Amino acid sequence: MKRVVLGVAGASGAAIAMRIGELLSSLPDVELHLVVSEAGKRTIAHELGPDALGNLAKIARHIYSANDIGATIASGSFKTAGMIVAPCSMRSLAAIATGLSDTLLTRAADVHLKERRKLILIARETPLHLGHLRNMVTVTEMGATIMPPVPAFYRRPETIADIVDHIAARAIDQLDLGQSPLAVEWDGNA
């Protein structure tokens, strides 16, 4: 089994977290480990409704409290195929960039960096100030991948679900799990 950690921070874009969770849990040999920040719980409820967090938790192999700093995913000895933070707030980005490890989410991200594993950050804020941009540069230099949740208009999305599907699938693609939950390859401008 390949373990994948999904961290959900309190930025806008809870639907992306939900879709990534659904797609990962649909892959036969992937085990989903979920950690949601306190602010993430709030944005999930605000954007998707009161039942959404419970629904996300149901499809995860394990859900951890963001305060549980002694959980398995806080240790490099717990092997994973990578971690996605979706969406990633500017607060969590700053904590990751400085190695703060103040919550289980930012600690798990720090572990992925120190173990040289994949760390994908769906960093969401707009507009960005220089501090945000510098933090993005810092985590990129440390090995993380910044993927802002930007729509691919060339795919002519018709619904928000189309946009969310594309962002979620592209993030999962970054983990190189050997299987892609949605066909996202561009076959040229035919």
Query: What's the CA gap between 153 and 124, in Å, rounded?
Result: 18
At 173 the three-state DSSP class reads helix
Name the phi and psi angles at 22, rounded to 5.
-60, -45
Stretch that binds ligand FMN, among 38-46, 72-80, 111-119, 153-161 (CB under 6 A): 38-46
Interface residue with ligand FMN, options 33, 118, 124, 170 (CB under 6 A)? 124
Interface residue with ligand FMN, options 6, 15, 19, 40 (CB under 6 A)? 40
CB neighbour list of residue 93: distance below 8 Å, 6 or more residues apart: 121, 123, 132, 135, 136, 139
CB of 85 to ligand FMN, least distance (A): 9
Helix ranges (DSSP H) in 80-129: 90-97, 104-114
Within 10 Å of residue 188's Cβ, how many Cβ atoms? 5
CB of 46 to ligand FMN, least distance (A): 5
Interface residue with ligand FMN, options 91, 107, 112, 118 (CB under 6 A)? 91
CB of 67 to ligand FMN, least distance (A): 11
Binding to ligand FMN (CB under 6 A): which residues in 45-84?
Answer: 46
**Which residues lie across from 3 on neighbouring strands?**
31
Q: What is the 3-state secondary structure (H, E, C) of 142-154?
A: CCCEECCCCCCHH
Binding mask 10-29 for ligand FMN (x = CB under 6 A): xxx-----------------
Residues within the annotated binding site for dimethylallyl phosphate? 154, 170
In the complex, the residues that contact ligand FMN under the rule CB under 6 A are 9-12, 37, 39-40, 42-43, 46, 89-92, 103, 124-125
